[in-house]
Amino acid sequence: MIIYHLSTECYPVAKVGGLADVVGALPKYQNKIKDVDAKVVMPWYNKSFAYDHEFDVVFDGFIHQGQNMLQVLVMKERTNTLGFELFLVKIPGLLDRENPYGYQDESFQFLAFQHAILHWLSAMKIRPDVLHCHDYHTGLVPFMVEHCHEFQFLKGVKTIGTIHNGEYQGMMHWDMVHYLPAFDHYKWGLLDWNGFINPLASMIKCTHAFTTVSEGYLEELFVSFRGLESLVRDEFGKAYGIINGIDTDVWNPETDPMLDFNFNKKNVLKIKKKNKQKLCKEYGLNPDLPLFAFIGRFATEKGADLLPEVVWRSIKQTYGALNIIILGSGNSYIEDKLKELNYVYANFASDIGYKEHLSHKIYASADFLLMPSRVEPCGLNQMYAMRYGTVPVVSYTGGLRDTVKDISTGGSGLNFTYPGVDDIIHAMIRGLAIYNQKQAMDDLVLSNMNFDFAWEKSAEKYIALYKN
C-alpha cells in the first residue's frame, strides 16, 4: 500500500505546531507495518534542514495558475533520514520562503502547492493507493482529483482528510476560482460554503473519509465548528476520531540529546530535580518551589491571552509559593505583557520564540504543565509532559479530555472545566497541595511515565481505515 501524506509542515523540516509532529512521525510508524510504503510531500522552505541534506530533482515542469506560468521542482531527500521518503515542492518566488504561513498571498500559495503535487503525480504516472491530506492547506486535493480535467489519471485514487484544527478553514473569495485547474462549473457546490470557497468544507464533502485527531474533538465538531456543524453532521458516516500518538524515539527522556541530564523511570525523581535546578538557575528561579510551565503558541484558542493575569494572580494568591516559566510566541500584545512581568516578579520567567531544544528542557524540569486551551483537537504537549514525568494541568476539552483524567478519579493530571483565570488558578492551587505531599507527587510522576502514547496503535488504525 502506497500512501502520500500531503502537508505544509513536517518535523524537523518545518514546524509551527502539532501538525508538524504528527506528519513527522505517523508515516515513520506506518512504514514499520508490513507492505506499507508511506511518504511525505511538503513545500520547500529556506530552512536549515533543506541545506543540511542532499536532494535529487525528480521532476521539473510547469503549471498554469490563471495567467501565471510557474516552474515546479520536486526534490527527493536522498537518504530517507526521517524514516520515509520526503519530497519537497519548490516553486521559485512562491514555495521557497522562510516560513510556512504569514504571507498575504497564502491562498494562491496553497493552491499552487496542491496543483503542483497533482501535476507531478499525473505527469510521472505515479498513482498512489491513498492521498492523505492534512488540514485545509491540502483540502482541495480530493476535489481536484475527482473533478479537474487535468488529473484524469488520478481519478478514483482514495483520499483521506485529517482535521488537525478546524478553527482554520482557508476560506477565500470566489475570484480565486480562476487559479484552480479547469473543472465542470456545475460542480461549484463542492467548493462552496456560505458564499466562499472553503477548502476544509470541500475536503469533508469530497474525501472518501475524514478523521479528527481525537474522538473527543470529533464529538465537539458536531456542535462547535465555526459554521460547519451541519456539514459534519451530514457527513458523519465517513468521520472517524483517531487519537494522535507521539514519536517515542524523539521524545525519550533516557536518550534525548537536548536534555542536560537524561533519566528513566528508575532515576526520574533524582535526575529530574537536577534538570530543574539547572533550568531555574538559568532563569533566576527558586528550584525549591514547584515549577509550572506553559509551552505553545500565544493564541486565544490555547488560552494564552489568560496567561498574564494567571501569572500575577497566582503568585499573589499563593504568596509566591510557586514558579512559572512560559515559552512561546505569536500574539505581540501577549508577548509584551509577559516581558513586562519578567521585571515585576522574581518567580516568573518568559522566553519569547520557538525554541525546540528549550521545550524539551522545560518538559524535563517542570513539575506541572499548564494547558488552558479553549480548543484542543488532540494536544501533544500533555503527552510529552507525562512521558517526562510532568503533571498536566488541562482544560476539559477535545483531546485533553481523552488523554488526561483528573487525579480525583485515579487519573494522571488536574482538570478544570472552564478555561478562565479563576478555574486555572484553582487547579494550580490543587497542584500545590499535591506537590507538598511528597509521596503522592512522586507516585504521580512515576505513574505518568508508564502511559503509552506511542504511535503504533494509531498508525494501525489509519492503515485499517485506508483498507476499509
CB 321 within 8 A of CB 353: no
Give the Cα separation of 370 and 307 in Å (integer). 10
CB 112 within 8 A of CB 89: no
Q: Is 47 flagged in the annotation as binding?
A: no
User: 159: phi > 0 → left, psi -120 to 50 → alpha, else beta; which?
Assistant: beta
Give the Cα separation of 259 and 359 in Å (integer). 10
Report the binding-site residues for ADP-alpha-D-glucose: 15
**Residue positions in the annotated binding site?**
15
